[in-house]
Amino acid sequence: MTPLAFGIDFGTSNSTVGLADSAGARLLALEDASPTLPSAVFWQVEGAPPLFGRAAIAAYLEGEDGRLMRGLKSTLGSGLIHDKTAVGGRAVAFREVLARFIGHLRAAQQAVAPSDSVILGRPVHFVDDDPAADAAAEATLAEIARDCGWREVAFQFEPIAAALHYEQTAAQEELVLIVDIGGGTSDVSVVRVGPGRVALPDRSGDILANDGIRAGGTDFDRLLSLAEALPHLGYLAPTKGGGTMPRHYYLDLATWHRINALYTARTASDLKALRLVAEEPTLIDRMLRVVDGRHGHALAMRVEAAKVALSDAEVTRLPMSDLTGGPNPILRREGFETAVEAPLARIGALLSRVLVDAGITPDRIGTAFLTGGSSQLPILRETVRAVVPQARLATGDMLGSVGTGLALEARRRFA
């Protein structure tokens, strides 16, 4: 009997655990029979163990005392990974928070079958244009995995894992453009796949090009928040002296892993002082309401939900009056697409660059396989189609392709 092999996709927004045996690969149910677990930790203040995933988000939304943390993967490769933050009355390093979450994934895996080996997914670049920081991010993640109990830890690029997942259904050999738009990064690969290549012991020659940038779904959320939500709280609002409100408070509020930095007496005091010089102090009152009530994560979740709604509708409403005391603005898809022009341009340039690196013309791509939480956005699909107009666009499991592919890679390497 072939032993189970495991792969873990620790994502910025969601995580999965894949398992593979001789029959194939699938995802493990992690929470309420769901194969995806939101990458969220809620640390309770009374010394109780942390909550994870949907349970963590529910505890926060229900007003329980504690601290919600999301977007933790973004701390890898930055100095923030070594910093400590106040959690439950004590200082906890972000590294420990990551270790608790990954340890939770390890426990779910061990409950199915004991294993000392794992393949972890990683973006092509944890950090853009900084090889040393990128290597440090992978090393830190490997150390955390070993501390959690795995003895043998290896990595595979997330878009390559997605290619292995797609290959399970490929009817013929072809060149595939893998477009993986995750929460924190966008990765693109050109891979040769086909039924006759699955069993080859060495697939390195099938990877024609592989690259990525640190831009993804959370950047779309942040830009949508800055464009449509935070102006109602004073973002870029004028002051009596002819200037504008300081931007850094709003940038923190729009960035998942920076929101908690606002929940301090110093920030509240600063905002009260700024209210006195604001042309429209009512806007600052709304900002104070969000900060004093610790509603930042709730607001971010509603902005994210509005982004998702705009994938299917031209217009949606952002419900935020209960959090801010202000209006519930109407959001339009065209406004969202304008807000995210900069990262989309970078993704378009990345797509073209990878084709050049692969040494092929766009017409040689048979299929563009899109995966990742933001890959269903119409403007993203238009961006891909503009680069490879003749290719078939295909999608698989938006949040599970990478985890399944990592399990297949683990089976190849370990089983």
The structural domains of the chain, with segments of one domain joined by +, span: 5-172+397-414, 237-332
Answer whether 166's CB lies under 8 Å from 401's CB.
Answer: yes
Q: What is the pLDDT of residues 346-371, one digit of tens each?
A: 999 999 999 999 999 999 999 999 99
pLDDT, position 2: 62
The rounded distance, in Å, linking the Cα atoms of 233 and 343 is: 24
- Average pLDDT of the chain to the nearest whole number: 93
Neighbours of 360 (CB within 10 A): 16
pLDDT above 90 (res 196): no
Sign of the dihedral defined by the CA atoms of residues 158, 164, 169, 170, in that order: positive
For position 88, what pLDDT does the model report? 67
Nearest CA among 285, 277, 274 for reference residue 233? 285
With a pLDDT cut of 70, the percent of the chain lying above it is 99
CB atoms within 10 A of CB 292: 12
* pLDDT digits 0-9 by tens, 285-337: 999 999 999 999 999 999 999 999 999 999 999 999 999 999 999 999 999 99
What's the average model confidence in pLDDT over 368-377?
A: 90
Cα 358–Cα 359–Cα 363 angle in degrees, nearest 5: 95
Detail the DSSP E strand segments found in 115-241.
Answer: 117-122, 152-157, 174-181, 186-193, 207-213
Q: How far apart are CA 136 and CA 394, in angstroms?
A: 34
- What local confidence, expressed as pLDDT, does residue 334 receive? 97
pLDDT at 1 over 70: no
> Which of 3.40.50.150, 3.40.50.12780, 3.20.20.70, 3.30.420.40 is the CATH number of 5-172+397-414?
3.30.420.40
Average pLDDT over residues 73-95: 81
Rounded mean pLDDT of 133-147?
A: 95
* Chain Cα centroid distance, residue 243: 35
Condensed to tens digits (0 to 9), the pLDDT of residues 160-175 reads 999 999 998 888 999 9
Per-residue pLDDT band for 197 (boundaries 50, 70, 90) equals confident
Please enumerate in sequence order all residues whose Cβ is within 8 A of that of 394, keeping only pairs 6 or more positions apart, or say none: 166, 367, 368, 369, 370
| 292, 316 contact by CB (below 8 A) | no
Q: Please provide the DSSP assignment of 296-314 as one string.
A: HHHHHHHHHHHHHHTTT-S
- Band the pLDDT of 23: cuts 50, 70, 90: confident
